A and B are shown apart, each in its own frame.
Chain A
Amino acid sequence: MGLSNDRIRFNVGGRIFETTATTLANAGRDSFFGALFDENWNLSQPEVLFIDRNPDCFAVLLDLLRTGDLNIPPNIPERLLHKEAMFYGLIDHLRTAKWGPFDGNRLHLSRSVTGIAPGDGTAIRAGPDGGCCVAHGSVVHVFDWMLEEHPTINLDYQRVNDVGWIDSGNIVLSACERLGRGDGGMGLFSSSSGELRYKFQVSHDNQIKSYSAGALSFSPDSKIFTSCKGRSNEYGIGVWDQITGKQLDFFYESPGWSLGDADKLQWLSGKNCLLVATLFPRKDNCYISLLDFRDKNMVWSWSDIGFLATAEEKRVRDAIAMEESNSICVVNEFEDLGFIDLRMDGGGSSVRWSSRSRLMKSKMPDEPCYPKLALHESQLFSSMNDSISVFCGSDWVLTSRLKRSYGGSICDFSIGGDRLFALHSEENVFDVWETLPPPII
């Protein structure tokens, strides 16, 4: 193709645009432009190709193809732009240009979405492509990456305990059972339509039993883990296959230990173990253990039974395993971080609390929320009241603090799809934090 032939003129909704086939080739074959210039279609039009679309949006999208950068003028509503991008098949281009790769120290607040649900939020979970879902009471609100809300989902209108994304199209929801009705449990839903696709069964001695499902976790080899409470003391951790939906395993809790009431499950790929943490105030004591399902063995465990009497403030409120440093990070209600070495048997070893305690006992808000922890590529995040702290480096130095003034305390937050979502307890508002696209130079 000669240079002169490379030039193309469009008439979009009355405005003339001139560009090159090379620029349009950036759109890829699976787009309007890719098909338009395919040799199948006889492109013998004289000089100007007419497209019956909005010229302002076309200008933005053409610049996106030219530079890879997205610049939305204030006069164009985002929804309109998304719709135009859908028409041209450029929606994926738009999404990747919208925000940069996640970095806890370069986050800025992109949007706040006001909630409508009554009651406190239970959980917020980031989806793999930048969407999120928020569990309130008995329903789950689903938002795609454009923050458009999809039909809400629920499992028999029972109280939702946890939600999680299997992939961008599927959400798992765990709910309480209603006594004697066989409701609740765990279900798989379509994220776009909110339909129930599959309900996971638990069976003991080949008999299907109803159960309450608690905390959820997924492993890369397509397993779902959840803490289960049956009615006849069938407490423990259930394991299902994501693809077949069949129950694979059940790890019964041993006397004097807690698994079925767990607050947090975390799959550790390197150790091939599941972390199970049951914490105060759900139970009087804290229990943290690592389970190996291959030989049905609790390979590591820690509990604060007998350690407490003196230091009331050192109560573990959340825990997260950090495989790289072979330790478990815990946090108390004053946002003191503590570390437990995984290489030592947990029985005797105590928590090494960092001395970074903040003197804010006096400033407790009316409705406090317990701190939560998250880990993303060697950055540690901890929520406390209305802010989230970011810690980096081998000594976990505080490097950033994300804060928004209203909406009350943060009751849960989640990182995924290069975004951080923080759910506030009072107003059911959630904040979306993104990393800006990389600088020009």
Chain B
Amino acid sequence: MSNQKKRNFQIEAFKHRVVVDPKYADKTWQILERAIHQIYNQDASGLSFEELYRNAYNMVLHKFGEKLYTGFIATMTSHLKEKSKLIEAAQGGSFLEELNKKWNEHNKALEMIRDILMYMDRTYIESTKKTHVHPMGLNLWRDNVVHFTKIHTRLLNTLLDLVQKERTGEVIDRGLMRNVIKMFMDLGESVYQEDFEKPFLDASSEFYKVESQEFIESCDCGDYLKKAEKRLTEEIERVAHYLDAKSEEKITSVVEKEMIANHMQRLVHMENSGLVNMLLNDKYDDLGRMYNLFRRVTNGLVTVRDVMTSHLREMGKQLVTDPEKSKDPVEFVQRLLDERDKYDKIISTAFGNDKTFQNALNSSFEYFINLNARSPEFISLFVDDKLRKGLKGIADVDVEVILDKVMMLFRYLQEKDVFEKYYKQHLAKRLLSGKTVSDEAERSLIVKLKTECGYQFTSKLEGMFTDMKTSEDTMRGFYGSHPELSEGPTLIVQVLTTGSWPTQPAVPCNLPAEVSVLCEKFRSYYLGTHTGRRLSWQTNMGTADIKAIFGKGQKHELNVSTFQMCVLMLFNNSDRLSYKEIEQATEIPAADLKRCLQSLACVKGKNVIKKEPMSKDIGEEDSFVVNDKFTSKFYKVKIGTVVAQKETEPEKQETRQRVEEDRKPQIEAAIVRIMKSRKILDHNNIIAEVTKQLQPRFLANPTEIKKRIESLIERDFLERDSTDRKLYRYLA
């Protein structure tokens, strides 16, 4: 025990930390640094991954992560600095190749270094929120190589130079180009955009500005568009070959702006080759190209459409207002249809059936068709012509096509009721004279009108068809109950319902005795079977077939109107008759008689009677004899009445007046309907609503509406508000 006291030994405090070899970190780092050098010098075959990984792991584990991280950055930076010098030294064409080679080497080295430092990447970097090894390697490449002053601008200029070369037709190494551009993309979107894309777009913009100016001075519109289209596809291809897909939109918008948007007006209005010229000459390819290019830029299509519309309106206006062209109604309408077909085809083949263009076409047609007040009449005449003879030998399908086209024009009409009026007249003529070619076509058109304008519009037209059918039955019944009539002249009566038909004031003439006897028999038969009806004869609308024997004994059957029949029958009893005698005997109205005599005496080849003196016009002092020398190669001779196909001026006035007259009750009905539901309304609103309601039939005239309102006030349907004179009140 005493010994121990004497020893007086000291107990060392147990406080020193366990310290690993102080040189441990440096040693380990040296191993790793050497390995990085070897990797960069492509001399990695002797390296053991397991050993390097373990060393890096141990450094992080022993809290030397910071040293490892900064060491790796420093080593890599120094290598990249060296590399950038090598790249810079490369001459001419080998510059890009050298850069690409070094970039590939760096990528491979970076991957291997990341493998070694994987544990650091996962733990130390994660917890300290530093930049991971791979992005760090890319950043170092960006800062030390791409942004190295002696490389930066040279690289950009080289790339832009190559693009420029390719644009002027030279062949470049697209693979190399793609690799270098890919490098920019790998370095991050912002690097690609800032260091390549933006300058590239600027250079392109400059290039196309100059080129488009050159083209527009030297080419016509069609060629220019071809070139622009070619450039556009070239740029799209370029993007596909070696640029980032996101650049496509940007570069095409540059081309669009420089080559199209900036020259839009000039291109469209180019003399002798612009849009109007293309439209006139049906240049579908050029038009299609223009459509496809212009729709890429804002307001492009609007410009095209506006020019097309104004051209259409101008052209249409000339067409409908030219007095020469409106001489023949059939041709007039045919021309309209042709124009429509032409533009339909342009829109479907070149403008991709663009709805807005179709609308522009429709509104243009609506505009100019209604410029000519006679359009409704002409369209009806066109239909009349087609249904009389035009449809012979045409397949049903084609008939439908023609009718559909007519309906298209009909839709453009503002005054649909005028059309109805004419259509009724023309249909009556066709039905009564038995001229209609195809019952089916007639009915099909009526169905179309019905779907377009409603039941009301066609009810009277349908009534006409019913009358024709009933008349047939009536005639069968009549002859059935009078079997004795099979000998002698045959009378065919068509009983027409008053109101359904466009009857003119009936002026019955004196019929020849043979006929009037038959008429009486029919009247008593008809009134016997139908009570409470009244028959009046419309002799002005009938026709007759009469047999005649001329001087040399040749027999002919003459197809004439009832009036003409009356005149001719007079010659059975006398050889020579004066105008006055004929007028007295027949009591045909003077105008009709003159027309009727004119057609009998003055038409060459059909002059069955002779007039003395010979002249074109019928005078009151003229006298007439049978033309014994009449010859014709045909047995049947049709003697037409000299009727104006188109209406004469007074007739037109009359039709117009009738139309106006018919509109009055319609306007009044509309006013009453509206007021009945609204009770109180001010003047402007009434006008607006009435116009809207009548739109499908005609365009109501505001002054006329006003007159109708006045008239309704007089008749106590409406009253003015006592305080506000502009307000109307409905009186129930």
Q: Do A and B bind each other?
A: yes
B115 CB to nearest chain A CB (Å): 4
A50 adjacent to chain B (CB < 8 Å): yes
Question: What are the 4 A-B residue pairs with the smallest beta carbon separation, nearest first?
Answer: A35-B115, A42-B45, A41-B49, A40-B112
User: Which chain B positions have C-beta within 8 A of A86?
Assistant: 119, 122-123
The answer to whether B118 and A50 have CB atoms under 8 Å apart is no
Give the A interface residue count (CB, 8 A). Answer: 20
B355 CB to nearest chain A CB (Å): 36
User: Which chain A positions have C-beta within 8 A of B82?
Assistant: none
B111 adjacent to chain A (CB < 8 Å): yes
A93 CB to nearest chain B CB (Å): 13
A30 adjacent to chain B (CB < 8 Å): yes
User: Which chain B positions have C-beta within 8 A of A49?
Assistant: 50
User: Which chain A positions have C-beta within 8 A of B112?
Assistant: 40-41
Q: For A195, give the chain B residue with the smallest CB separation.
A: B129
B54 adjacent to chain A (CB < 8 Å): yes
A51 adjacent to chain B (CB < 8 Å): yes
The answer to whether A38 and B123 have CB atoms under 8 Å apart is no
User: Which chain A positions have C-beta within 8 A of B122?
Assistant: 86, 89
Question: A38–B119 Cα gap in the complex (Å)?
Answer: 17
The answer to whether A50 and B50 have CB atoms under 8 Å apart is yes
Q: For B45, give the chain A residue with the smallest CB separation.
A: A42
A193 adjacent to chain B (CB < 8 Å): yes
Q: List 5 A-B contacts (CB under 8 A).
A: A32-B53, A41-B47, A41-B49, A42-B47, A193-B127
Given A42-B45, A87-B57, A87-B119, A36–B127 Cβ distance below 8 Å? no
B108 adjacent to chain A (CB < 8 Å): yes
Question: A30–B118 Cα gap in the complex (Å)?
Answer: 8
The answer to whether A51 and B50 have CB atoms under 8 Å apart is yes
Question: A87–B108 Cα gap in the complex (Å)?
Answer: 23
B570 adjacent to chain A (CB < 8 Å): no
A52 adjacent to chain B (CB < 8 Å): yes
B51 CB to nearest chain A CB (Å): 9
Majority secondary structure of chain A interface residues (helix, strand, loop or mixed): loop
Question: A38–B47 Cα gap in the complex (Å)?
Answer: 13
User: Which chain B positions have C-beta within 8 A of A31?
Assistant: 118
**14 additional contacts, CB 8 Å, given A38-B111, A38-B115, A42-B45?**
A35-B49, A35-B53, A35-B116, A36-B50, A40-B44, A40-B111, A41-B47, A43-B49, A87-B57, A87-B119, A89-B118, A89-B119, A192-B127, A193-B127
Chain B interface (Cβ < 8 Å from any Cβ of A): 44-47, 49-50, 53-54, 57, 108, 111-112, 115-116, 118-119, 122-123, 127
Question: A49–B51 Cα gap in the complex (Å)?
Answer: 11
Question: A89–B44 Cα gap in the complex (Å)?
Answer: 23
The answer to whether A36 and B123 have CB atoms under 8 Å apart is no
The answer to whether B115 and A40 have CB atoms under 8 Å apart is yes
Among B49, B119, B127, the most chain A Cβ lie within 10 Å of the Cβ of B49
User: Which chain A positions have C-beta within 8 A of B49?
Assistant: 35-36, 41, 43
User: Which chain A positions have C-beta within 8 A of B53?
Assistant: 32, 35-36
User: Which chain A positions have C-beta within 8 A of B116?
Assistant: 35
- A21-42 vs B: 1/0 string, CB under 8 Å? 0000000001110011010111
Question: A89–B126 Cα gap in the complex (Å)?
Answer: 14
Question: A50–B48 Cα gap in the complex (Å)?
Answer: 10
User: Which chain A positions have C-beta within 8 A of B127?
Assistant: 192-193
Among B116, B118, B127, the most chain A Cβ lie within 10 Å of the Cβ of B118
B120 CB to nearest chain A CB (Å): 12
Question: A287–B53 Cα gap in the complex (Å)?
Answer: 60
B104 CB to nearest chain A CB (Å): 13
Question: A66–B44 Cα gap in the complex (Å)?
Answer: 31
Question: A30–B114 Cα gap in the complex (Å)?
Answer: 10
Question: A40–B112 Cα gap in the complex (Å)?
Answer: 7
A401 CB to nearest chain B CB (Å): 40
The answer to whether B115 and A41 have CB atoms under 8 Å apart is yes
User: Which chain A positions have C-beta within 8 A of B118?
Assistant: 30-32, 35, 89
Question: A44–B123 Cα gap in the complex (Å)?
Answer: 30
Among A35, A36, A192, the most chain B Cβ lie within 10 Å of the Cβ of A35
A434 CB to nearest chain B CB (Å): 25
- A243-268 vs B: 1/0 string, CB under 8 Å? 00000000000000000000000000
- A72-105 vs B: 1/0 string, CB under 8 Å? 0000000000000011010000000000000000
User: Which chain A positions have C-beta within 8 A of B119?
Assistant: 86-87, 89
Question: A38–B317 Cα gap in the complex (Å)?
Answer: 80
Given A32-B118, A35-B118, A86-B123, A42–B54 Cβ distance below 8 Å? no
Question: A86–B44 Cα gap in the complex (Å)?
Answer: 26
Among B45, B53, B119, B127, the most chain A Cβ lie within 10 Å of the Cβ of B53
Q: For B127, give the chain A residue with the smallest CB separation.
A: A192
A406 CB to nearest chain B CB (Å): 36
A433 CB to nearest chain B CB (Å): 28
Question: A51–B51 Cα gap in the complex (Å)?
Answer: 8
User: Which chain B positions have C-beta within 8 A of A89?
Assistant: 118-119, 122
A268 CB to nearest chain B CB (Å): 34
A29 CB to nearest chain B CB (Å): 9
User: Which chain B positions have C-beta within 8 A of A42?
Assistant: 44-47
A63 CB to nearest chain B CB (Å): 21
User: Which chain A positions have C-beta within 8 A of B50?
Assistant: 36, 49-52
The answer to whether A52 and B47 have CB atoms under 8 Å apart is no
Within 8 A of B (CB), among A116-138: none
A36 CB to nearest chain B CB (Å): 5
Q: For A87, give the chain B residue with the smallest CB separation.
A: B57
Question: A36–B47 Cα gap in the complex (Å)?
Answer: 11
User: Which chain A positions have C-beta within 8 A of B57?
Assistant: 87
Question: A91–B437 Cα gap in the complex (Å)?
Answer: 93
User: Which chain A positions have C-beta within 8 A of B115?
Assistant: 35, 38, 40-41
B707 CB to nearest chain A CB (Å): 54
Q: For B108, give the chain A residue with the smallest CB separation.
A: A40
User: Which chain B positions have C-beta within 8 A of A51?
Assistant: 50
Among A38, A41, A42, the most chain B Cβ lie within 10 Å of the Cβ of A41
User: Which chain A positions have C-beta within 8 A of B47?
Assistant: 41-42
Q: For B39, give the chain A residue with the smallest CB separation.
A: A40
Question: A6–B656 Cα gap in the complex (Å)?
Answer: 102
Q: For A45, give the chain B residue with the smallest CB separation.
A: B48
User: Which chain B positions have C-beta within 8 A of A193?
Assistant: 127
Question: A192–B49 Cα gap in the complex (Å)?
Answer: 30
User: Which chain A positions have C-beta within 8 A of B44?
Assistant: 40-42
User: Which chain A positions have C-beta within 8 A of B123?
Assistant: 86
Question: A89–B53 Cα gap in the complex (Å)?
Answer: 11
User: Which chain B positions have C-beta within 8 A of A41?
Assistant: 44, 47, 49, 112, 115
Question: A38–B112 Cα gap in the complex (Å)?
Answer: 9
- A391-424 vs B: 1/0 string, CB under 8 Å? 0000000000000000000000000000000000
B653 CB to nearest chain A CB (Å): 67
User: Which chain B positions have C-beta within 8 A of A30?
Assistant: 118
Question: A89–B123 Cα gap in the complex (Å)?
Answer: 10
Among B46, B50, B112, the most chain A Cβ lie within 10 Å of the Cβ of B50
- A175-219 vs B: 1/0 string, CB under 8 Å? 000000000000000001100000000000000000000000000
User: Which chain B positions have C-beta within 8 A of A44?
Assistant: 45
Question: A234–B123 Cα gap in the complex (Å)?
Answer: 44
B338 CB to nearest chain A CB (Å): 58
User: Which chain B positions have C-beta within 8 A of A43?
Assistant: 49
Question: A214–B517 Cα gap in the complex (Å)?
Answer: 115
User: Which chain B positions have C-beta within 8 A of A40?
Assistant: 44, 108, 111-112, 115
B119 CB to nearest chain A CB (Å): 7
User: Which chain B positions have C-beta within 8 A of A52?
Assistant: 50, 54
Question: A193–B127 Cα gap in the complex (Å)?
Answer: 8
Question: A36–B118 Cα gap in the complex (Å)?
Answer: 11
Q: For B44, give the chain A residue with the smallest CB separation.
A: A42
Question: A32–B54 Cα gap in the complex (Å)?
Answer: 10
Q: For A197, give the chain B residue with the smallest CB separation.
A: B129
Q: For A37, give the chain B residue with the smallest CB separation.
A: B49
A33 CB to nearest chain B CB (Å): 10
- A220-240 vs B: 1/0 string, CB under 8 Å? 000000000000000000000
Question: A35–B134 Cα gap in the complex (Å)?
Answer: 14
Question: A43–B127 Cα gap in the complex (Å)?
Answer: 32
Question: A49–B122 Cα gap in the complex (Å)?
Answer: 24
